[in-house]
Every structure is written in C-alpha cells, then in structure tokens.
Structure 1
C-alpha cells in the first residue's frame, strides 16, 4: 500500500479526488510535469452534453430513474446533470455523512430515503465516484489524447475527513475500488486526511521569507459537512518545508450544509403557507443562497441591507417583503441563520489553539465554508489579535490540490519541492489484548476474570498492551511492532490463521490496564499461515503434559495519513497476506 519510488520513465497520472458532502472536486497532474496541476472545471450538464457547466467543483448529488424505468449505470443523473427543477424528493444529497454513523450524523433525516430506492450508502458512493471517474477519463482523453491515457497508469489520492472512524475511511476506499473496477482499471487508491491535504497546499503557498522554524499554524478545513482542525509546527525550511503536528486533530459536524438547512427551515417558516410555495420555489431559492448570498454575506454589512431571493409565482406581499417574484431577506435574519453554525466553528478553533501548547502564529481557513467572509471576520474578533486569520487563494480547491501534491511527492519525490508532514499526533490509544501472568498487586481488581493456563501452569488474565498512546508522535517512516506468542493445542489441528484484534480508546484519559466500555474494537487483523510447512511451527510441552504450538510472531503497523497497513513477521519473513476488517 505504500507508494513505490518511481523512475521518471514510469509515467503516472496522479488524480486527487475530494469527495465532499455538498460538492466534490477532481484534479490531476502527470509525474513528469508535476508543476502543472489541473483541476477539472467543466462538467456535464446532461447525459449527452459531456461538458457545459463551468465550476471548480460539482454537486455531490444523485438522481435515479423513477421506479418504472430500467436502472442502468448510464441513466443515473449526477452533479449538474440533475435539473435544478427536479423535485427535491427525487434528489439524493448529503449521503457522504451516512458513511460514519458513529458521528450520529444527520443521517437519513437529510439523505433522502425515498429517493434511494433501497440503496445503501456504499452503493450511492460507488455510483457517484464511478460517474466522477467516467468524466475524469473523458477529460484526460480530451487534454492528453487517447494514446497517452491508455498507456499511462493512474493513481488515486482520495481525501477523507480526519474526524471519521477507520471504518468510514475504509468504506470510502472500498467504494473507490469498486468504482475504478467499474471503469475497467485496477488503480492504486490511497487515502489522505482532508486537513492534511489542505495544509500541504496552504503552507506551500505561504511567503517563504516570512517563515521561521518553530512557527505554528492552525489549519481549519471548513467544508460542507465536516470541519476538521489540525495544528502544525515548522521543523525545517530547506531544502523542503517540513512540518509536524502540534496536537491531535479535532473536528465536528458543523459545515456549511447546516447553513443551507437553517436557511431552508427559515424560508419554510416565513413563506411556507403562501399560495404557490412549493419544492421548486424552495430549490431556486436554495440555489441563490448556495451560489451567491452565502458566499457574499459579510459581518460588516449594513444591518438594514437586504438580499434578493427568487420566489417566482408568489403574490406580492409588502408585509412579508415579496415583490415581483422576489423576497427581500434581511441582514439580521441572515445573521440569525449564520451565527449558531459559525459559533461552533469558532469554539473548535479556540480549543485547538489552547490545546496546541505552542504559540500559534496564524489560522489558515480553507474549504468552501472557509472562504466565507462572515466566518473570517467573526474569527478575527474572537481570537487574540496577534494571531493572523488567513484565507489562502482558491481555498475551495485547497484539499484536492493538496491531495495531488501529496501523490506527486510520494510517486516522484525528487521532482518538486513540497511540504512534508514528518510526524502526526495519535488521536487515540491503540493496542491489543493479550493474556498475561496474573499478579495480585497489579491485577487485583481483575481477580474475578482470571483463568488457569495449562501450558504455563499458572493463573492468567487478559490485559491491554498499548503500542501507541494518545498524543504520541506517529511517523509514516516508523512502523510500530508488537511481539506476541500465538499458542494452541496440537491436538486441535495445525494452526492455519493467526488472528489479532486491535482496539482503540479515544477518551482523553490515561490508557487503562484492561479493556472496559470505552475501549472499542477497531479492526480484526488476520494472517494466513497455512502455507508455512508444519515442521517450521514451533512446539512446546505444557505443564499439563499436552503438546502446544508456540509461534513467536510480530505484527507491524504503519500509520499513514488516513489508513493503516499491517504486516505479519514470522521466522524473519514478512507476510503481507494480512487482511484487516474494520468494525
């Protein structure tokens, strides 16, 4: 799963995919021309027109043919191919949030269940990313020619929220694998956390003359559904900018999707009883809010300023503020829509600043919501004045551009000066559970759980062995190795599989001695050893006279930006036949 080091004749096209809650972006670059990163900005507007809508990103929306029509991949509408006038009960949006039920996301309440026709979130994500992939293939053929595209392998870097569970990240990766195989290719897919991708782009764009080793920055990646925060300290400036995480990342569900929901609720309460108000009117008003009002609204706007919302077909009503098919939205109403969501983001930023334990020089706002003028001004007023609030140019594309930069740096490391993340901070304790000799002093509170071990002729008890503690520095270049002994009675038949459960504890407490309700199963790791000759499996006679297998093994875990890679080490050999199933 790690990136191979390339010679330059092994050309590759690196593709970044920012699969977002409300909008998604795609960018790409060729390894031999790494300074030319191209974002796709032209999108299909119908099943036949391959391009037409110009936008940095495309809506993360799907619409399936009605129940009477035959469903095929080609008649699923997505992005801009869904007409704005399509009834809202047929359009599926915000389904990305359903990938991580552990966040108690808005779930089915926002992601239209009726329009799904029984499809689960994995199917929706696969269909959407397949559509993105088809358009990517079309675009690459147009720009580079059929021959180049056929002969050059692709590599995908897909971004995921850092606050997601490992299961949600793994589900995203699997959906991408299904989507690329639907395109007829076997493409390597790597995950990177959204704030890390944004940081690579944003820090790369800073004025190098003003930077010093030891400077620290908070990156606030405010997107549609999630807001992720992370702090970095500069550890090296030359030959490349190297940074390390200053504190474990934080985040929450408080992206700009929640502004849209609050606006829709406000409009329904205000105008919902008026004759002619229907889904179509609401959809056009939402479009204006999404594309214009939300992005223009600023804190210093005059309090009596009004914003025009189209409400075609509604009768003039001076009292309500409707005139000639337009509704005048007051600035004070807009502030009441914005404020609770913005307050939540500010709270997260302030917590991140105080948790960093290092002086923060600036907060870099990226992501679609990060481009909001109102959010910037409110943040400016909420944090100490010595901390700069910065919005890098093209903040909406920061995540997808950073993903491409990460892929290029890994595939062709000598080709381009990039930002390198040396160390990350573990967001939780990671460990495994093993049997250990019972010791009354250490394990007295576990006395009821002890059991007799025939092999060693003593009492044993299950305890946790933590190989990473929350806040520990974690490096991609530094694997974590856990040694253990796998035993089993020979009478039960030869050992075919070695299994290991990895647990995680995300509470801020000290890592506990034994597993309790806050220690959750993270992943089953299983290694197939059935091909190892029987005579290489160690044996030992137990205290009870029985013969036992005894295998001295190690599991090596490498923690990458948004995924983990496991390898079994046995008899000085590496076995990559390890399957990891997330729960």
Structure 2
C-alpha cells in the first residue's frame, strides 16, 4: 500500500488478486466486495439477516458444483457474516499493523513512556456504538499488550476535538482575529455524520481557551448519503437489470444488513466523486463514464455510448436533503447562542463533506442575512485527528475529560430457560410445574461482559425480564444471585461452571456471586411476576 494522507475506511474479505492487494483502505482488488459505511452500522446492529446472506454467498461460491469455484473462493465467500464491531476491529487491526511497523524503531521508548489513547466519537453516539468502538479498538491491538505503560483511554467528541485544533490553527497560522467573548460554530461535516457545536473564546493569552456554549447536535447526513441518493437515482434511470450488472449485491438483490460495494460500482463512484466535490449551483450538465459491462450502453436521453448524463437539477437533488439537514443543525445552534444573549461571528466548516463547493455555497447563502462568516480552513480534512492529539497533550489540565474503562469482569444471572433443541442440545429437560413447559435449569444470562465500556461519570441501567412463579400461600419473594466471572471462557450452565470448586467462594476461576431479593407488591394469589 502506498503512503496516503488519508486511508479510506473500507475493508474487503474477498480473495486478493495476483497483485496481492491488502484488501483494506485503497489497496483493493478489482473484484473485491468492500464493506462500506460500517462505522454507521455500529449504532444499529439490530438484525441477523447477514447470516442468511452468508448462506447465499456460500451457494454462489459452489455455483454449478464446480470444484474450481470452490477452490478459488478458498472455502469462504467474498462477503462476511461478521458483526459491524468485528469488521471495524479487523480494519483497525490492519491499520495497527502498519502503525506498529512504522514505529518499530521506537520500541524501546514505547515500553518506557506513559501512553494515552484518545478516541473520538460523533455527538449523537449511543452507548452501544461507543462500546462497540471501544472494544474494536482494544481488539485491534491498541491495548496493554502493545503499550505496557498504557495509562488511560480518553473519549472526546469529534466537534470538540476539531474546534480545539481549528481555532488554534486559525489564530496562530492564519492570523484569525479571535477575541475574548467571540462565539463561533464548528460544523464537522464528515462522510457519515454531521456534528455541530458552538464555542465562546474564553481566553486568548497565554493560550487559547474555549468554552462550550451549546448542547452539541448531529445527524447522519454526511457525504455518503449523497452517494446513496445518487445510486438510488441511477437505479431508476438505467433499470434493475443494468444496475445489477454494476452492483450484483444491490439492495434489490441482497438481504444483508451490511452496506457493500463491488468492483464495478466502486469504479463508478470514483468517477462520480470529483464531480460531487466540484459541483456548484451554476455548474453545467456533466457526463460520467459507466464502467464495463455498461460502457456501450445506450438509453435515449440518459446514457449515450456508456456516458451517463447527469443534469444540474439531478446533482442538486442528490445534495438536497443532506444540505437541508446541515442548515437545520446550524440554525439550531445559532438559536441556542441567541438565547444566551450572544452572537455567532463565524462558522468553521471542516470534514470530508466540507470539500463540496455546493455545500459551501448553500451554507453561505443561508447565512447571508445574519452577516455570519463561513470559513473552511485548509487543514479541515484532518482537524478531528489533530485536535485529538492536542486534547491528549492537554488532558492533565482538564477536569472534565471522559475516561473509558474496560469492565474487569463478567456479570450475570442464573435462571431456567425455555428449552430449544438447537440451543441446548442434549441438556437435561425438566417441566415447569406451573405451565408444564419444557425447560433447562440454571442457564447463565450474562448482561455485562468483561471488556465492556464503563464510563465513570455516567450511570447506565440494564433491564432484564425475570418471570417468577409462586404458590398461593407461599411468600412472594424471589431470590436471585448476581454472579461475577473473571475469565474469558464464559460458562453457559451453572453446574458446568461449578465443577471442581465450592459455590459462593472466590474460586480458582474467580467465580463468585452476590444475592438479590425481589418482592412482589401483591401476595394474595398465584401469579407470574415480570420484573
């Protein structure tokens, strides 16, 4: 892989070609199926349709039952069944390998000096997404094994990191006139999310100090959604059959939860990208070459000899919804500042989407009556990562930083579960005396896993449904034990976990419990208690 200032956030599990591509970033084989926009999927993960997609890919891999097809696929499909967290971890692991190789000459220093890992996240990022991001980073290699003196993980939002760098860069490198009490808005328009927050200049000497003025807001309306709107438009223009020639795994042809991109569609999107960035409201209609096998396609008024006609109005429609949402985010931040009797002086636009000249035009037009300047620093594409470094360097002086701590143990309950032949196999089956339902005894239900993200300043509620049955005259009291387990090999059944040591004691596997008592509000009749 060549040295690039920015590595695309894509990875492929397809076999490489004879060129021995690394199958991540920009080093992809021509026919690779790339996983795209996986970061956004960290905040979803609500479906298991990817398992069905794996079955379809296996069937495709043995098409016609020809052994050559099976051998070429090396027993695996080019598509993955992995969850988004694992895909992100695999991508980061490849990046970590390059980082480690590039810093091998510093091995002695890395083993002696304290290390902090600064993790940036979008504003509207759920606990689930933060947890998946954190675990993927640790799994990829950014952990105590690689950094023996790793002291802490620190989380900062992307616009906060970007604002720290952007304001300092403009003041020191471009002589921006930042004065005490000046207010500005930082709009981080990236590929997936757009995050916006307002700051006030608190001090300019001896160092620049910023005060957050508003509640940060964000939406999933970045540049990748312009791309998706273009693909949807293309599907309507050239028809399903032609579209599937470019993208056999399009939404109409696949049922996977993952966003993917095949080789021919990747070529088309690479041709579309410079047009997207350079487009202005006054731009003329444009022609984009379609890759094989559509390079000779003709559709009157749409495609001529493989050249796709995209009009000015078409391009405007690709941007429309995203730009409207960005403007809405900025207007919301301006309103928050106004309510505090302050005035926004400047809006700094950073991130990959900020390269769009049409976005810049539309934002400037929306601000014309307010006399607010729109500025895009020359280093806007890297403001987040540069700001994260500054944030880490100054972390000892910050009292409000958010530390990320891996949970040291697993925690769970032991309960009887409804029997499933697929899940429980040959385990002994018993009958519930109240319902006669087939059950298996003493199954662990782990709800907090070792390595899960703990945020010291935040509380989190984990809800579990527990059904308790009582006889008519029995006390309506249910006792549950909360178990903690230190090792990584989580047991599924209580009896198997207890082999060789005494219940309730700190054992050779650090398997202990705490007792919880649940009581009902009514004690007059048989009932099931749902807690």
Q: What TM-score do the two structures reach when normalised by structure 1?
A: 0.55
Match for 2:140 among 179, 182, 186? 179
Match for 1:94 among 8, 27, 37? 37
Match for 1:228 among 195, 207, 214? 195
Question: What pairs up with 1:38-187 in 2 under 5 angstroms?
Answer: 44=1, 52=2, 54-65=3-14, 77-86=23-32, 90-101=33-44, 117-141=80-104, 147-148=108-109, 152=113, 154-180=115-141, 184-186=145-147, 187=150
Matched with 2:362 is: 378
1:275 and 1:212 mapped to 2: Cα distance? Answer: 54
Matched with 2:184 is: 217
How big is the shift at 1:367?
0.8
Local SS of the residue matching 1:59: coil
How big is the shift at 1:227?
0.9
Q: 1:275 to 1:308 in 2, by over 3 A?
A: closer
Matched with 1:199 is: 163
The answer to whether the Cα contact below 8 Å between 2:85 and 2:136 also exists between their aligned partners in 1 is: yes
The answer to whether the Cα contact below 8 Å between 1:134 and 1:183 also exists between their aligned partners in 2 is: no
The answer to whether the Cα contact below 8 Å between 1:228 and 1:250 also exists between their aligned partners in 2 is: yes
How big is the shift at 1:479?
8.1
Q: 1:259 to 1:276 in 2, by over 3 A?
A: closer
1:264 and 1:479 mapped to 2: Cα distance? Answer: 43
Matched with 1:390 is: 375
The answer to whether the Cα contact below 8 Å between 1:62 and 1:77 also exists between their aligned partners in 2 is: yes
2:379 and 2:137 mapped to 1: Cα distance? Answer: 26
1:480 and 1:175 mapped to 2: Cα distance? Answer: 21
**Comparing both structures, which one devotes a greater share of its residues to strand?**
1
Local SS of the residue matching 1:264: helix
Q: 1:156 to 1:75 in 2, by over 3 A?
A: farther
Question: What pairs up with 1:373-452 in 2 under 5 angstroms?
Answer: 373-383=357-367, 384-410=369-395
How big is the shift at 1:205?
1.7
1:120 and 1:423 mapped to 2: Cα distance? Answer: 30
2:216 and 2:285 mapped to 1: Cα distance? Answer: 38
The answer to whether the Cα contact below 8 Å between 1:200 and 1:402 also exists between their aligned partners in 2 is: yes
Q: 1:323 to 1:148 in 2, by over 3 A?
A: farther
Q: 1:404 to 1:362 in 2, by over 3 A?
A: same
Deviation larger for 381-390 or 271-280? 271-280
The answer to whether the Cα contact below 8 Å between 2:119 and 2:154 also exists between their aligned partners in 1 is: yes
1:222 and 1:77 mapped to 2: Cα distance? Answer: 27
Question: Does 2:232 align with 1:265?
Answer: yes
Q: 1:351 to 1:84 in 2, by over 3 A?
A: farther
What are the superposed Cα offsets for residues 415-471 of structure 1, whole Å, 9 maximum, x if unpaired? xxxxx89899xxxxxxxxxxxxxxxxxxxxxxxxxxxxxxxxxxxxxxxxxxxxxxx
How big is the shift at 1:147?
4.8
Matched with 1:362 is: 346
Q: 1:316 to 1:120 in 2, by over 3 A?
A: closer
Local SS of the residue matching 1:355: helix
What are the superposed Cα offsets for residues 364-411 of structure 1, whole Å, 9 maximum, x if unpaired? 111101222111110111123410011111211111111111112226
Question: What pairs up with 1:244-393 in 2 under 5 angstroms?
Answer: 244-272=211-239, 273-274=241-242, 277-279=245-247, 280-290=263-273, 292-301=274-283, 304-313=284-293, 314-315=295-296, 317=298, 319-323=300-304, 325-356=306-337, 357=339, 358-383=342-367, 384-393=369-378
Structure 2 regions of 5+ residues with no counterpart?
Answer: 58-77, 248-262, 403-454, 460-477, 484-505, 507-531
The answer to whether the Cα contact below 8 Å between 1:230 and 1:249 also exists between their aligned partners in 2 is: yes
2:14 and 2:242 mapped to 1: Cα distance? Answer: 31
What are the superposed Cα offsets for residues 257-293 of structure 1, whole Å, 9 maximum, x if unpaired? 1011111112222224459942344321112223x12
Local SS of the residue matching 1:251: strand
How big is the shift at 1:154?
4.2
What are the superposed Cα offsets for residues 119-162 of structure 1, whole Å, 9 maximum, x if unpaired? 22221222121111111112223xx5555556555432121101
What are the superposed Cα offsets for residues 293-346 of structure 1, whole Å, 9 maximum, x if unpaired? 221112232xx3324334344325373454554333222211111112111111
What are the superposed Cα offsets for residues 204-241 of structure 1, whole Å, 9 maximum, x if unpaired? 12235612211111111111111111100111111111
The answer to whether the Cα contact below 8 Å between 2:155 and 2:401 also exists between their aligned partners in 1 is: no
The answer to whether the Cα contact below 8 Å between 1:95 and 1:124 also exists between their aligned partners in 2 is: yes
Local SS of the residue matching 1:78: coil
The alignment of Structure 1 onto Structure 2 pairs a total of residues equal to 360
Local SS of the residue matching 2:103: helix
1:137 and 1:316 mapped to 2: Cα distance? Answer: 47
The answer to whether the Cα contact below 8 Å between 2:298 and 2:305 also exists between their aligned partners in 1 is: no
2:279 and 2:96 mapped to 1: Cα distance? Answer: 34
1:277 and 1:178 mapped to 2: Cα distance? Answer: 37
The answer to whether the Cα contact below 8 Å between 1:316 and 1:325 also exists between their aligned partners in 2 is: yes
Q: 1:61 to 1:236 in 2, by over 3 A?
A: same
Structure 1 regions of 5+ residues with no counterpart?
Answer: 1-43, 45-51, 414-419, 425-475, 482-491, 498-529, 531-583
1:371 and 1:353 mapped to 2: Cα distance? Answer: 23
2:143 and 2:14 mapped to 1: Cα distance? Answer: 20
1:181 and 1:236 mapped to 2: Cα distance? Answer: 35
How big is the shift at 1:198?
0.7
Q: 1:410 to 1:212 in 2, by over 3 A?
A: same
The answer to whether the Cα contact below 8 Å between 1:243 and 1:423 also exists between their aligned partners in 2 is: no
